[in-house]
Chain A
Amino acid sequence: MGAHILKRLISAIPVLLGITVIVFLIMAMIPGDPATAILGSYATPENVEKLNRDLGLDKPLVTRYFIWLGNMLSGGFGRSFSLNRPVIDEILDRFNATLILAGVSFVLCTLLGILAGVVSAARQYGLADKAITFTVLIGISVPSFFLGMMMILVFAVNLRLLPVSGMYAIYGGGDLIDLARHLVMPALALAVVATGVIARLSRSAMLEVLRQDYIRTARAKGVHERRVIMGHALRAAMVSIIPVLGIQAGFVLSGSVYIEIVFQWPGVGRMLVDAILKRDILLVQGGVVFVAAAYVFFNIAVDVAQSLLDPRIKT
């Protein structure tokens, strides 16, 4: 198993490099003078000229990539002009908030989605199945940012049950309960679409599996039907559910950008949008590379989970 994890980690290196190449190429599309873009429009002409020289703009693209990569890695992604601090510091400050939001949301959509899918399959064409199918259809069609706004309107403004936005109360907050109260709505709003997708997939994966011969064997042994479904069938269905969880995690991470804006959540997503509006290029590219790298490692974890579940995968 250790060797397997190591192998996956090594295979991540080219992917990580690929990510930097793509981000570099996108940044090379910036129209006009990159130094101005990096330093902001109030930079002095001397600084701009010096930076242009450092970036090696007269050199071929490949050389420029390595200069760029070197600058990024050695200098902690550079210095943000709009915040006047190193990009890496800002990212690390923000990343926790995103991780909490997206992480809780991901756990929610995984649990709820699989549960809904299993119930739906076990009660196929029954009332529960129809109710779940309908809810899922609505869920995957509502834009998360609109849903978030409506939740604020109902639960925070009208019912006054939950705080409108932010991560902690400004006065007297800061403990775990405060965080949880602030987290409920954004985490739910973010989880809804992925829950729907996972529920659909789990339902069809379960139905597929329930036709298999080994399910008949379990029944022939006299195993209780509840155990047949929650044990034998679900376990086998997980083999096709887990890879989709990895993909859905990417969607949850993507959706967190909107949710962070709607709920004023101090995460990386909001940082990125602010940075784009302020044209703070270094902050954007640092944030993108960092989060994409985190996602690559998450997918390695998914892969390892898959090989733990399925002994037929050579480890």
Chain B
Amino acid sequence: MTTFLKLLFRNRLAALGAVVLGAIVLLALVTPLLPLADPDVTATGDRFMRPFTEGHLLGTDHLGRDLLSRLLWGTRLSLAVGIAAALVAGTIGSAIGIVAGYFGGRIDNVIMRGVDMLMAFPYILLALAIVAALGPGLLNALIAVAAVNIPFFARNIRGVTVGLAGREFIDAARLAGMGHGRIILTELLPNVASTIVIAMSTTVGWMILETAGLSFLGLGSQPPVADLGSMLGEARAALITNPHTSVVPGVMIFLIVMSINLLGDGVRDALDPRLRSGALTRPRAVTLVDRKGQVPEADQKGLLNIQSLETQFHVGPRIFRAVNEVSLHLNPGEALGIIGESGSGKSVTALSVMGLVASPPGVITGGAVRYAGEDLLSADYRSLRQKRGNNVAYIFQDPLSTLHPLYRVGDQLTEAIQAHHAVPDATARARAVELLKDVRIPNAEARVRDYPHQLSGGMRQRVGIAMALANDPDVIIADEPTTALDVTVQAQILALLDDLRRDRGLAIIFITHDFGVVGQLCDRVAVMYGGRIVEEGPTATILSHPAHPYTKKLMACVPELGGGKRELAAIPGLPPVVSDLPPGCAFAPRCDKATEACRVGEIGFTGSDTHRVRCIHPEEVLA
């Protein structure tokens, strides 16, 4: 509760709302004690006096009544009526909602049908009908406004109650022989009370506005008693000659409603965990690059060359080092595997290449990524966009969430083509069909008109692959392309990728946690752990002579290459949290061979350029 209040008041606007509302409520409370003129005493000789005249701070109205006094009394009345309406609607609506939610079944059905019917009305029609039946008057307006808002409470509270009614403590109470009434009062009500209070406090502004509205129309408070709405309604006749009589009550309604809105927004924001975690911030078009150190010298290795890449996630005061000093290169036509558990930094490494790490919270803090010699991290958006999909293309893990659900697959393919080539629609569409044929989708002419949800998982991933091929890129980065698929489909997709690679001379980076995949497809493999590369070398060498204890364990998890169930749980312990890595080897807590030396200082690579390992006691001593 105190943290909630702190959050609320860190929000300056909410605090402002609280102050303004507090002041208005206080004024309304002490109004009877203030030395004010009688709000209803008319003095036609003094009509329409301007604000700031002697004895009438805000002037007088068309009957010579003191506006300040009428304003304060009117505010008092409007607040009282609005709050009363909120209480009535909240109580009756919540009662209905609790009954519907608790009993469920037919009772629920009938009640909610009725609520739906009420909600089918634009609210004012219902209010007008009620006032028409009961006759104009403030009490009737209050009843109308309350009645109109009952469905809102009923529906909200029913939702919460349904969630609670199935819980064990309700069952327990029932088994203990408690009656329905007692269960509702002693078990349910305390749990929904806070929801009811919040719903009431967020709607009270509405209720004030609505009753003021009815009074404005002449259907609420009747003369000489005035709330803010009827003050405004009466002043309307003199709007042009004496606008101040309209402005005074109008501004007061505005202030009340705005301060309640500000406060309500503050409450909502303070209760929303997504706002604090940054889950509701817009990711930029390109990952933020903020390199602290020097940009490493180009070393001319490979077509795609990653040097000392550092990518971090900045979440509040915490820093997650997702990728730490990673260097890799990819030669033309080569297949490189990056393998590791989830959280090892392999996907973030891959996404960093084209600036696709969501930012915020992602920041690239060091290193270089060069494509054909050009540093992509210092490239501007234009040139990076031109390379995305055209030179370096991606295949993502789960094609159900990575393909746009509302576009036909054909349109998504033509869009990929037209992003880089100004070709006519017809040409692009023909090419899209070609692409689907290339990835062996049967009946491609018809499939282009399908939406992603109409395809099977395997077919969807073929579309994902076709999209990556659309512009004949030199490099494809496949981020766990088969993980979401079942085993037989996995094999087909892998075979397809392998064929495409050989036919087109593609260079592929394969991100995976599966040595089976690596063995089948990759020329070289890099093993990542805790954001770092711990071993790298030719696939055959690593498969036969793994040097890093982690690599060896990872391989032991694969019962048989290319098949069977692959689980990493066989390695005891959990992957490290990259926000606080221990000094020394990150794998030490899970390593059988760990010694004291492993837990201090930086451990560098040993071995050669072709096969290197980051371990003090490697399984194999590398030349």
A residues adjacent to B (C-beta < 8 A): 15, 18-19, 21-23, 26-27, 29-31, 121-122, 124-125, 137-138, 140-143, 145-146, 149-150, 152-153, 157, 164, 204, 206-208, 210-225, 228, 232, 235-236, 239, 250-251, 253-255, 257-258, 261-262, 269, 272-273, 275-277, 279, 281, 284-285, 288, 291-292, 295-296, 299, 309-312
Question: What's the Cα separation between A80 and B287 when bound, in Å?
Answer: 68
Q: Mark B104-141, 1 if CB is under 8 A from A, else 0.
A: 00000000011011101111111011111111100000
Contact A145 B406 (CB under 8 A): no
Instruction: List the one stretch of B182-190, B251-259, B371-379 in contact with chain A.
Output: B251-259
Contact B356 A220 (CB under 8 A): yes
Q: Mark B134-171, 1 if CB is under 8 A from A, else 0.
A: 11100000000000000000000000000000000000
Contact B130 A26 (CB under 8 A): yes
Instruction: List the one stretch of B28-36, B295-303, B413-421 in contact with chain A.
Output: B413-421
Contact B386 A222 (CB under 8 A): yes
Instruction: List the one stretch of B86-94, B392-400, B542-550, B559-567 in contact with chain A.
Output: B392-400
Interface centre among B219, B239, B398 (most CB of A within 10 A): B239
Whether, in the assembled complex, B389 has its beta carbon less than 8 Å from a beta carbon of chain A, the answer is yes
Contact A19 B121 (CB under 8 A): yes
Contact B453 A220 (CB under 8 A): no
Q: Known contacts A276-B136, A312-B405: does B280 contact A219 (CB below 8 Å)? A: no
- From B130, B218, B385, contact of A222 by CB (8 A): B385
Contact B358 A216 (CB under 8 A): yes
Q: Which residue of A lies closest to B258 (CB)?
A: A141
Contact A291 B132 (CB under 8 A): no
Whether, in the assembled complex, B390 has its beta carbon less than 8 Å from a beta carbon of chain A, the answer is yes
Looking at chain A's contact residues, the main secondary structure is: helix
Whether, in the assembled complex, B71 has its beta carbon less than 8 Å from a beta carbon of chain A, the answer is no
Question: What's the Cα separation between A309 and B407 when bound, in Å?
Answer: 10
B121 contacts across to A, CB distance below 8 A: 19, 22, 250, 288, 292, 295
Contact A153 B243 (CB under 8 A): yes
Instruction: List the one stretch of B208-216, B332-340, B509-517 in contact with chain A.
Output: B208-216
Question: What's the Cα separation between A173 and B262 when bound, in Å?
Answer: 44
CB distance from B81 to the nearest CB of A (A): 15
Question: What's the Cα separation between A150 and B235 when bound, in Å?
Answer: 12
The 7 A-B residue pairs with the shortest CB-CB distance, nearest first, are: A18-B117, A141-B258, A254-B124, A146-B250, A222-B389, A222-B388, A250-B122
- From B390, B396, B415, contact of A213 by CB (8 A): B396
Q: Which residue of B lies closest to A30 (CB)?
A: B133
Q: Which residue of A lies closest to B247 (CB)?
A: A150
CB distance from B508 to the nearest CB of A (A): 15
Contact A15 B467 (CB under 8 A): no
Q: Which residue of A lies closest to B282 (CB)?
A: A124
Extra 19 A-B pairs, beta carbons < 8 Å, given A143-B253, A222-B419, A276-B128: A18-B113, A137-B258, A137-B265, A145-B232, A150-B246, A214-B404, A216-B402, A217-B394, A218-B404, A219-B356, A221-B388, A221-B393, A221-B467, A222-B386, A254-B123, A284-B129, A292-B122, A311-B454, A312-B451
Question: What's the Cα separation between A284 and B389 when bound, in Å?
Answer: 63
Whether, in the assembled complex, B437 has its beta carbon less than 8 Å from a beta carbon of chain A, the answer is no
Whether, in the assembled complex, B285 has its beta carbon less than 8 Å from a beta carbon of chain A, the answer is yes
Whether, in the assembled complex, B240 has its beta carbon less than 8 Å from a beta carbon of chain A, the answer is yes
- From B243, B262, B393, contact of A220 by CB (8 A): B393
B212 contacts across to A, CB distance below 8 A: 143
- From A26, A217, A273, contact of B218 by CB (8 A): A273
Whether, in the assembled complex, B4 has its beta carbon less than 8 Å from a beta carbon of chain A, the answer is no
Whether, in the assembled complex, B381 has its beta carbon less than 8 Å from a beta carbon of chain A, the answer is yes
CB distance from A26 to the nearest CB of B (A): 5
B415 contacts across to A, CB distance below 8 A: 218, 221, 223
Whether, in the assembled complex, B261 has its beta carbon less than 8 Å from a beta carbon of chain A, the answer is yes
Q: Mark B414-436, 1 if CB is under 8 A from A, else 0.
A: 01100110000000000000000
A312 contacts across to B, CB distance below 8 A: 405, 451, 453
Q: Which residue of B lies closest to A146 (CB)?
A: B250
Contact B129 A222 (CB under 8 A): no
Contact B402 A149 (CB under 8 A): no
Contact A18 B405 (CB under 8 A): no
30 interchain pairs (CB within 8 A)?
A18-B117, A22-B117, A29-B133, A29-B134, A122-B282, A124-B282, A137-B258, A137-B261, A141-B258, A145-B216, A149-B236, A149-B246, A150-B250, A213-B396, A214-B403, A217-B396, A222-B416, A222-B420, A223-B415, A232-B404, A236-B404, A250-B122, A255-B124, A257-B124, A261-B217, A273-B219, A276-B136, A276-B219, A284-B129, A288-B129
Question: What's the Cα separation between A240 and B285 when bound, in Å?
Answer: 23
CB distance from B5 to the nearest CB of A (A): 22
- From A121, A143, A218, A311, contact of B406 by CB (8 A): A311
Q: Known contacts A236-B406, A309-B406: does B120 contact A295 (CB below 8 Å)? A: yes
Interface centre among A29, A220, A250, A272 (most CB of B within 10 A): A220
Question: What's the Cα separation between A310 and B125 when bound, in Å?
Answer: 32
B217 contacts across to A, CB distance below 8 A: 257-258, 261, 273
Question: What's the Cα separation between A222 and B384 when bound, in Å?
Answer: 8
Q: Known contacts A211-B279, A312-B451: does B232 contact A146 (CB below 8 Å)? A: yes
Contact B406 A26 (CB under 8 A): no
B216 contacts across to A, CB distance below 8 A: 143, 145, 258, 261
Whether, in the assembled complex, B387 has its beta carbon less than 8 Å from a beta carbon of chain A, the answer is yes
CB distance from B122 to the nearest CB of A (A): 4
- From B213, B280, B285, B419, contact of A258 by CB (8 A): B213
Question: What's the Cα separation between A208 and B275 when bound, in Å?
Answer: 11
A310 contacts across to B, CB distance below 8 A: 405-406
A149 contacts across to B, CB distance below 8 A: 232, 236, 239, 246, 250
CB distance from B235 to the nearest CB of A (A): 9
CB distance from A268 to the nearest CB of B (A): 10
Contact B401 A213 (CB under 8 A): yes
Contact A207 B209 (CB under 8 A): no
Q: Known contacts A214-B402, A275-B132: does B122 contact A225 (CB below 8 Å)? A: no
Contact A217 B404 (CB under 8 A): yes
Contact A153 B125 (CB under 8 A): no
Question: What's the Cα separation between A223 and B393 when bound, in Å?
Answer: 12
Interface centre among B117, B133, B218, B219 (most CB of A within 10 A): B133
Contact B405 A214 (CB under 8 A): yes
A31 contacts across to B, CB distance below 8 A: 134-135
Q: Which residue of B lies closest to A228 (CB)?
A: B285
Contact A152 B239 (CB under 8 A): yes
Question: What's the Cα separation between A90 and B355 when bound, in Å?
Answer: 64
Whether, in the assembled complex, B281 has its beta carbon less than 8 Å from a beta carbon of chain A, the answer is yes
B471 contacts across to A, CB distance below 8 A: 222
Contact B396 A15 (CB under 8 A): no
Contact A292 B120 (CB under 8 A): yes
Question: What's the Cα separation between A143 and B229 when bound, in Å?
Answer: 10
Whether, in the assembled complex, B354 has its beta carbon less than 8 Å from a beta carbon of chain A, the answer is yes
- From B120, B387, B396, B419, contact of A216 by CB (8 A): B396
B575 contacts across to A, CB distance below 8 A: none
Contact A288 B213 (CB under 8 A): no
B262 contacts across to A, CB distance below 8 A: 137
B258 contacts across to A, CB distance below 8 A: 137-138, 141
Whether, in the assembled complex, B607 has its beta carbon less than 8 Å from a beta carbon of chain A, the answer is no
Q: Which of B325-383 contact A (CB under 8 A)?
A: 351, 354, 356, 358, 381
Question: What's the Cα separation between A141 and B259 when bound, in Å?
Answer: 9
Question: What's the Cα separation between A216 and B285 when bound, in Å?
Answer: 9
Q: Known contacts A239-B406, A258-B217, A311-B451: does B354 contact A220 (CB below 8 Å)? A: yes
B351 contacts across to A, CB distance below 8 A: 216
